[in-house]
Amino acid sequence: MKRIVCAVLLLFMLLPAAGAVSAKSAIVLDALTGAVYFEQNADEQLPMASTTKIMTAVVTLENGDLDREYEVKREYTLVEGTSMSLREGETLTIHDTLWGLLMLSGNDAALALAGEGGGADNFVAKMNAKARELGLENTHFDNPHGLDSATHYTTARELAILAAYAMKNETFREIVSTVSHTAAGRDMANHNKMLVNYEGGCGVKTGYTRRAGRCLVSAAERGGRLLIVVTLNDPDDWNDHAELLDLGFSRFTETTLQTAGDEVGACTVYGGLPEVLPLLAGETLTAMLADGEQPRVSLSGRRFTYAPIFNSAYFGQIEYRIGDAVIARGNVAYGGDAARQPERLTLWERLMQFLFG
C-alpha cells in the first residue's frame, strides 16, 4: 500500500503545473498596458537565437535613411546559418535588407545592416544602449544575428517588452505581419506560421540554434488589443503560442463604450438661443477591455461655437484612451438647433424707440 501511495505522489510531482507550457521560459504581455497574463520562468537569462533581429531592426529603423543604397561587402556574406543570399558586389537598399532580415531571418542581412549602420562593433554597442534605454537590465547582445555567444542573452519578459516597443514602428510592423513579399529581386516567405494559423496574428519573429532551442515571439491583435507572447527553448512553440494567446484574449470582454445618440458632453453657443447645446455620439463604439480597465474620455472640436447651429451638424471627435493609446474614436454632433439671439439695442436706441415708436 505504501508503495502505491508513493508512486501516486511521485506521479503528481512529475506532472507540469496547471497551465504550464513546454517552454523553458514564457510570458504573455499586453502591449497596451504592460499587464502580464501568464509567466513561466520569465526572468531567467537565456539565449534568444534569431529573435535578436528584433533589436537589429529597431536600431536600423531608428538610424534612419532606409532608402540609402549600399554595395554588399564580402564580409557580410561570410556567416553561417539562415541567409537572404546576399552576393558580394550587388547593390540594394537598407529597406530591402530589412525585409531579408525579418522575413528570411538572414544572418548575412544582419551583418550588412550592422556594417552599414556604423560598423559591427559600434552597431552592437547601439543595440546594448537601446536595451538600457528600454530598461532591459537582463539583456545583452554580442552580435546582430543571434548566433550563440557566451554573453548573448535575454529573458522572456524583456524580449516581450522589446517586441511591444518594436511593434509601434509602422515599418517594422508592416514587415513582420507580411506573409510573402518580393524585395531586392527575391521572393520571401515569412517563417512565422502564426500569421496564417492564428486569428489576428500580426508578428513577430522566429529563432533557433542548437543551444537556444526553438525561440518564438508572436503577436496577435483583436478588437484593438495587441498581445505579445514569448517562449524561449520551446519544442512545442506553435501550439503553446496558440494556447497562450487564447488565454490572453480570454481576459478581455467586448464592452460598449457609447451608443449612437448618447449625450457625451455639452457646448456653449455664443450669441445663441439656447446658449448651451448637448453633444451627441455619432456612432456606437466598442472596445476589448480587461477587468477593471476604465478608459479616459476626451472631446476635441471647435474652440468657440457661434450661432446659428443646426441639429446634427459636426462638432468634433471623441476619443477613448488607455494610457497613451487610443482604443476607440468617433464623431460628435450638436444635439439641437441654436438660433442667433436678437441684436440688443443701445440705451439711446431704446430711448428713440420709446419716444418715436
Number of Cβ within a 10 Å radius of residue 331: 15
- The reported pLDDT for the residue numbered 213 is 98
What is the residue whose three cell numbers read 503545473?
17
Active site residue 130: no
- The reported pLDDT for the residue numbered 228 is 98
Per-residue pLDDT 10s for the chain (357 aa) are: 444 434 333 333 333 344 689 999 999 999 999 999 999 999 999 999 999 999 999 999 999 899 999 999 999 999 999 999 999 999 999 999 999 999 999 999 999 999 999 999 999 999 999 999 999 999 999 999 999 999 999 999 999 999 999 999 999 999 999 999 999 999 999 999 999 999 999 999 999 999 999 999 999 999 889 999 999 999 999 999 999 999 999 999 999 999 999 999 999 999 999 999 999 999 999 999 999 999 999 999 988 899 999 999 999 999 999 988 889 999 999 999 999 987 665 677 667 666 765
Candidates 24, 50, 205, 218; catalytic one: 50
- Residue 142 contacts residue 125 (beta carbons within 8 Å): no
Active site residue 250: no
- The reported pLDDT for the residue numbered 3 is 46
- The reported pLDDT for the residue numbered 97 is 98
Compute the CA torsion angle 45, 49, 51, 57 (nearest 10 deg).
Answer: 110
- The reported pLDDT for the residue numbered 7 is 38
- The reported pLDDT for the residue numbered 344 is 66
With 0-12 CB in 10 A as exposed, 13-18 as middle and 19+ as buried, what is 55? buried
d(CA 215, CA 1): 44
* Amino acid in the structure at residue 273: L
- The reported pLDDT for the residue numbered 355 is 73
Candidates 25, 105, 126, 218; catalytic one: 105
Whether omega before 204 lies within 30 degrees of 0, making that bond cis, reads yes
* Amino acid in the structure at residue 213: G
- The reported pLDDT for the residue numbered 187 is 96
Number of Cβ within a 10 Å radius of residue 122: 11
- The reported pLDDT for the residue numbered 260 is 97
pTM of the full predicted structure? 0.85
- The reported pLDDT for the residue numbered 19 is 63
Active site residue 53: yes
d(CA 200, CA 306): 46
